[in-house]
Structure 1
């Protein structure tokens, strides 16, 4: 099994061809942006020497095997400089063409304005929101170390380096600082952050906004700092990058001084180089400076011998991949059981039968859904590739599993302590999911999901299977008051495309929800759980299937065709109480538990008709949060019992009643909606007033 350094030696360099390759990359960026009239060429030009050396000499990658598990990862955190990445993917043989480069930022192209994972071969992460790439690269490095420690301890077979390229803007965003702090604490020496220290932002020089000593800050985080003051010296770049990839027990910051827009005499070093073309005259001057004809076409900027030289990355990559496969075969012979475990892990093979052992209680038992969720995580430990932790709230959110924490000295640790870094935690989860095939989870209170929102959105955009475990799901939090009582968070999270928001009613629904979550690795989930105990409700054989469908009839009197009461989470038992009270007056109501409206909306029309018949117009929705979106399901003449203002300090039951979530309010809403539909029971009732809702 491999035990040598994972940093490969470079192929024989040819200085003249290397120089031409860099010049071509710089000219391509200037030409394409000028031709399109928009885009970001300045950074791509300045970093062309660095990117050429990295992709052609240093990076452990194989363009012909882009999914190679042991490849180095490269994340362009400064995603606006996408041309830099696309140009190297073209030069090194990832399948892009000059025409693809010319079509950058165009509808339907392989080269969108910012890199998009799963869209362009060779792109490891969707980036653009500054700082996100830095934070997610930390997650990639953590997952890589964890996988290696769990499956091949003492070996470098799975070891590789995560590289991330960031600009001044990335390092100003707080999420990068949060994640970098944790990376230093964890000693992630398989992580290299290259900082493009050009002193320029969109509006001005960093002298106006960013004068801190970044190098000292990263040293204080526990990072090693290396300097490159000669950005065009290819051999010096290679030497420093190779040193950066050495395992020293610390992550490495490479501070690279560049001039944005170089070698343009007119725009170099100016904010104007950040975006937009340089103009026809300056473009011609740049081409001349780089050794091309001033009117050279796109094709004329890439000589056949230059492309042949850079495509040497294919041969180099094949050799690296072949050597690794030989090491893998040797390991499989020496440790067939261990190799089989890793292959099953990589193939997504796992057994969820442990869910059957989770105790859900008997009807009437009082169990907080956060507690059942904790039992689920512990039951699945070791059987399913779940890995995660909490933002310093593990005891309260009950997500801590058995075993040791992940640390600088224990990469096999079963649990991650993220510290009080919610935004970085969510971004790190994205990195862990991208590294794959872990299903990462992380937990905090629902109200703090606001800190995580940008990373949650990016995870949904990338289709990553992260699980965000949010507890303390409503004003029932109680005495901590409105700062800790979520009101708008559930409704807000439901507006994120491709994010499943799941709010189980009881322990039975928690377990059933996890069956669907584990079967859907390409969708993130916000799992919203109660702090307070909730009664285990009567169940039946169709309950698990109903949960995975997102909505189902949990309780019904008669044919249930007089009234539908829709509810989620802790309000389902309240809805059942109300329906039972209404049944005493002869009203046939059905209670629809809707743990996930996204899942329910995906069901067939026939299924939804069974649960919520179109003809059943008298409808009430109940949820302890903002209720605007529920009108989709109850109609304009239905009623929504919700909370439309912030909470206050007091016991949970007191605050819920003060904000209108109580039995009398649900019954009054039922009468109001029944009154809006003549011919149904209680048809003479009047609509509910605001005063009645909150009394």
Structure 2
């Protein structure tokens, strides 16, 4: 157990130095983490981003000091000084693991539940890629491992994701459950009393119990058995939170540093004779076996790719080339809902990019967000349409897991239910990964379904997420451009917001214009008296209002702003060219928040909608030509 205790004590040293962290899990879960890394996980610090490596997600991200200790001992680019910088400004060791911030981290974690759902996505991606590309030569056969705690399994997103994984038989997924019966407020019994085994077996998961969390042999045997099943696997490992310390078994050990006195007592219990941040050479030698095994796996993988290139050159080229995202072409006089234009665009992209996959939360017929080649299932691993069921939150997080493997993916839902997905969308932005989130039924124009289904505050909320590109197209051309921008992105997630109602196309809506975020879609005639600024379906309304204003001698231009995110990144000269300092009326069927940086004059909806035919609801809130003309005249 010397190497296990090295992990424990490095974890304690980090937490004590920072005077911040979570010692309980580190002391309890280090044996299972060590066993996984030492004898099972196929990774190497020499090639940390090797595609066919195993993936590991510490879903319970508060145990980060344990993971940083493991990565340091394994030889990743994480020095002892980096460990000493735990939870400090600009360090490589933030409070919770962050993707691409620290070498060896496969996913950002911390918000409980996200990690398991992302693990489902990673394992799903392996299933799809293995089915498509593995022949007599194996290219893809990695496993995804997730280490979680009681809190993860209490989250709704976890239950959604595990139900989905069990139904679809996503078997190269192994969850190690740190079952210590304690959480922050006290015993787990305060919050749950279910039959864990019965619950997950009912979800079509393979369940095992390891009764002693310090029994490395039993943990190792359970992991081996998990890899033999055709189901996703959960291994419940009974541990003691704060093991070895005077706070063992006590919720007080969850989130507060032990301090020097209790840590020194722990040293005696663990028979650890070394100082803080001191590790004996034989422990480092022990961990070298991980790199040795990983390097052998890497060499085998490279050899397989070389043989594959010779035997299957077309498939190899498909895998190793940057496939160009096509730009869908539409007729200039087209009049159709942007959700329909989006569906057509998805079909085209699916034909050109074989690793483009996605689906909807039981709304395929409504959102038109449907993948190609049939439905993904246990019987059809070739299907690229994912039936997520009514599991919006898991859908978003699973999609992030798919994206983390390098595949291109999208989700589909009604816009008002983006609220169910917000944590996953925020995680995509935080990780700088290009997941595409598709939403339809984008305003009160939904009509009869009423305010429960009519988004109002959602656009403002999602636009407020840092690094999230929200694109609300005004027509089919803008829709095609939006999809190309989304799929071409490599570090920014995209939210695409489409209409249920038909919109007229416009020849000025070129890809180049949309790429700038905002552009003049209908120019003034001579002298610029003002601007009508709009997004989405309101652009059509602005153009119709422009005609009336011009007939009354008021010369305005219409500016379409499909993406505030992209427009705000343009040069000051371009922004001044499009939106000079003249009377400007912005209009959008949603919250006014976010528009004030462009103008103080906003026609918006800052209350809930109503149940009635869509055109009547739209008219009720003043989104008609007469009111736009009247409102603009009032600001002159």
TM-score range, shorter chain: over 0.9
**Aligned: 1:648 with 2:615:** no
**Aligned: 1:238 with 2:205:** no
Partner of 1:284: 264
Partner of 1:253: 234
CA drift of 1:518 comes to 2.5
CA drift of 1:41 comes to 1.5
Partner of 2:428: 459
Offset from partner CA, 1:257-277 (integer Å, 9 cap, x none) = 00011011x111110111122
Residue 551 of structure 2 is aligned with which of 570, 581, 584?
584
Q: CA RMSD in A?
A: 1.4
CA drift of 1:386 comes to 2.0
State the alpha-carbon separation in 2 of the partners of residues 160 and 527 from structure 1.
32
State the alpha-carbon separation in 1 of the partners of residues 34 and 565 from structure 2.
45
1:598-677 correspondence to structure 2 within 5 Å? 598-613=565-580, 615-616=581-582, 618-634=583-599, 636=600, 639-674=601-636
SS at match of 1:382: helix
The question of whether the paired residues in 2 share the 8 Å contact of 1:641 and 1:665 is answered with: no
CA drift of 1:516 comes to 2.0
Partner of 1:683: none
Residues 1:603 and 1:56: Cα distance change in structure 2 (over 3 Å): same
State the alpha-carbon separation in 1 of the partners of residues 185 and 526 from structure 2.
65
Offset from partner CA, 1:186-225 (integer Å, 9 cap, x none) = 1011001111110011111011112111221110100010
State the alpha-carbon separation in 2 of the partners of residues 99 and 560 from structure 1.
64
Residue 148 of structure 1 is aligned with which of 130, 136, 154?
130
Partner of 1:597: 564
CA drift of 1:238 comes to 1.5
Partner of 1:690: none
The question of whether the paired residues in 1 share the 8 Å contact of 2:357 and 2:371 is answered with: no
State the alpha-carbon separation in 2 of the partners of residues 312 and 403 from structure 1.
42
Residue 272 of structure 1 is aligned with which of 230, 248, 252?
252
The question of whether the paired residues in 1 share the 8 Å contact of 2:519 and 2:559 is answered with: yes
CA drift of 1:245 comes to 1.9
State the alpha-carbon separation in 1 of the partners of residues 393 and 372 from structure 2.
25
Residue 393 of structure 2 is aligned with which of 423, 432, 438?
423
The question of whether the paired residues in 2 share the 8 Å contact of 1:643 and 1:661 is answered with: no
Residue 205 of structure 1 is aligned with which of 167, 183, 187?
187
**Number of matched residues?**
635
1:440-451 correspondence to structure 2 within 5 Å? 440-451=409-420
State the alpha-carbon separation in 2 of the partners of residues 457 and 647 from structure 1.
26
Residue 473 of structure 1 is aligned with which of 428, 437, 442?
442
CA drift of 1:334 comes to 2.3
1:150-189 correspondence to structure 2 within 5 Å? 150-153=132-135, 156-189=138-171
Partner of 1:366: 335
**Aligned: 1:82 with 2:64:** yes
| Bigger Rg, structure 1 or 2 | 1
CA drift of 1:560 comes to 5.3
**Aligned: 1:544 with 2:511:** yes
1:421-570 correspondence to structure 2 within 5 Å? 421-436=391-406, 438-537=407-506, 539-540=507-508, 543-559=510-526, 561-570=528-537
Partner of 1:409: 379
State the alpha-carbon separation in 1 of the partners of residues 527 and 511 from structure 2.
21
**Aligned: 1:575 with 2:542:** yes
SS at match of 2:357: strand
Residue 394 of structure 1 is aligned with which of 357, 364, 369?
364
SS at match of 1:74: strand
The question of whether the paired residues in 2 share the 8 Å contact of 1:34 and 1:276 is answered with: no
CA drift of 1:341 comes to 2.0
The question of whether the paired residues in 2 share the 8 Å contact of 1:98 and 1:298 is answered with: no
The question of whether the paired residues in 2 share the 8 Å contact of 1:439 and 1:521 is answered with: no
State the alpha-carbon separation in 1 of the partners of residues 120 and 19 from structure 2.
35
State the alpha-carbon separation in 2 of the partners of residues 281 and 352 from structure 1.
60
CA drift of 1:448 comes to 0.5
State the alpha-carbon separation in 2 of the partners of residues 94 and 299 from structure 1.
16
Partner of 2:99: 117
CA drift of 1:416 comes to 0.5
**Aligned: 1:324 with 2:301:** yes
SS at match of 1:569: coil
CA drift of 1:521 comes to 2.2
The more displaced of 518-527 and 108-117 is 518-527
- The two structures have a TM-score, normalised by structure 2, of 0.97
Query: Structure 2: where are the runs of 5+ without partners?
Result: none
CA drift of 1:318 comes to 1.3
CA drift of 1:155 comes to 5.3
